[in-house]
Amino acid sequence: MKALKRAESAGAARSVRAVRTGGGLSFRVDVRASVVLVVLAAVAAGAGIVLIGSGDYTMTPGEVVSTLFGHGTFQQEFIVTDLRLPRVLVGLLVGASLGIGGAVFQAISRNPLGSPDVLGFGQGATVGALTVIVLFQGGAAAVAGGAVAGGLVTGIAVYLLAWKRGVHGYQLVLVGIGAAAMLTAAAQYLITKANLVDATRAVVWMTGSLDGRDWAQVWPLLAVCGLLVPLVLGHGRALRMMEMGDDAAYALGVRVERTRFVLMVCSVFLVAVATAAAGPITFVSLSAPQLARRLTRSPGPNLLAAAFMGAALLLVADWIALDAFGDRQLPVGIVTGVLGGCYLLWLLVTERKAGRI
């Protein structure tokens, strides 16, 4: 791990440039990280345009862009604005939320496996949603509320159970793995108690999908991301110091427990709201921060790069699910599960060879 951090620091030092303004001010710019952000934003935008043009009524990228700027026909504007654009926006926001949530938890636990998928927060949101579906036959809004409540309750429980004169990385991961196992069993139990209609509805929701998403899912996601993402980014410097260890962060003036608690609450809420909007989409929060860090070669949590990577990954996976299997459209959760599972196996083998696990 120390060798990896030294290599990242050396790479970051080579790519950092000092920029001076006319007023005598200067600031540092990480050229490689900036280029990666631009590329990821372009990939996400390109995948979104392709997705909007895909379906029974196909449109070229040029027609999609022209319609987005208000120059399409009435039929094109209806298809783009009312039917397909909300799906893409939900995908962007869900992917960014999962990516930044995963980056925070991996930085807090100082463990590449410390993502919401492993720590049980996604499973908690699933149990909350299934409780509403199976026991109360609630509608879409009630299911979303149940998912958010389940994720938040799981986050609080894991935090309290992992507390021992503070929350430490391995304690958090171990408690989270145990919570995930119990919550998975609880979700399966709820399905066995449901009638056929509710069980079918529950299984469809658990798959994770962007199908049928409309503006009713976009606005709550946008509000939550607009409030919490800047708050998380504002704690990015403190989070980077915490990766060096609690003692070093304390010495540098960071209020470690307060910062950790705020970041965990924000990240759990982001993951829970993303799960409420699209169902439990697996492995994005695990793989996006790691891929972003490998591309930027910068030390620290790389929060913004992880958010961009999560958005790009989810839209590309949704495009694969929509077009790669002919007439049979798959839920995006299946594609992210397959790709993420392969990435997890590769990560485990790599970490084992490096002697870090």
- For the residues 122-151, what does the mean pLDDT come to? 85
The per-type count for the chain, helices as H runs and strands as E runs, is 17, 2
- For the residues 94-116, what does the mean pLDDT come to? 86
Predicted local distance difference test score (pLDDT) of residue 19: 52
- For the residues 228-233, what does the mean pLDDT come to? 92
Nearest Cα neighbor of 243 from 260, 230, 262, 268 is: 260
Tokens of 115: 């993502």
Predicted local distance difference test score (pLDDT) of residue 165: 66
pLDDT score of 146 more than 70 = yes
> Tens of pLDDT along 149-195?
888 888 888 888 877 766 666 677 788 888 888 988 988 888 888 88
Which residues are CB-contacts of 96 (< 8 A; sequence separation ≥ 6)?
A: 225, 229, 307, 308, 310, 311
Predicted local distance difference test score (pLDDT) of residue 177: 84
Cβ burial, residue 264 (10 Å; 0-12/13-18/19+): buried
pLDDT score of 72 more than 80 = no
| pLDDT confidence tier of residue 22, bands split at 50, 70 and 90 | low
SS3 17: strand
- For the residues 57-84, what does the mean pLDDT come to? 86
E strand or H helix that includes residue 243: none
Predicted local distance difference test score (pLDDT) of residue 112: 76
> Tens of pLDDT along 339-352?
877 877 887 777 67
Predicted local distance difference test score (pLDDT) of residue 113: 75
Predicted local distance difference test score (pLDDT) of residue 2: 44
- For the residues 53-79, what does the mean pLDDT come to? 85
Predicted local distance difference test score (pLDDT) of residue 92: 93
Selected residue with higher pLDDT from 207 and 313: 313
Q: Considering the chain, what percentage of its residues have pLDDT values greater than 70?
A: 87
| pLDDT confidence tier of residue 223, bands split at 50, 70 and 90 | very high
Which residues are CB-contacts of 313 (< 8 A; sequence separation ≥ 6)?
A: 95, 99, 284, 287, 288, 291, 336
| pLDDT confidence tier of residue 314, bands split at 50, 70 and 90 | very high
Predicted local distance difference test score (pLDDT) of residue 3: 44
Selected residue with higher pLDDT from 287 and 167: 287
pLDDT score of 93 more than 90 = yes
pLDDT score of 21 more than 60 = no
Predicted local distance difference test score (pLDDT) of residue 166: 62
Predicted local distance difference test score (pLDDT) of residue 18: 52
In this structure, which amino acid lies at residue 156? I
Write down the pTM of the prediction: 0.85
287-308 burial code (b ≥16 CB/10 A, e <16)? bbbbbbbebbbbbbbbbbbbbb
Average pLDDT, the chain: 82
> Tens of pLDDT along 240-250?
888 777 777 77
Q: Considering the chain, what percentage of its residues have pLDDT values greater than 90?
A: 15
Q: Would you say 223 and 97 are in contact if contact means Cβ atoms under 8 Å apart? A: no
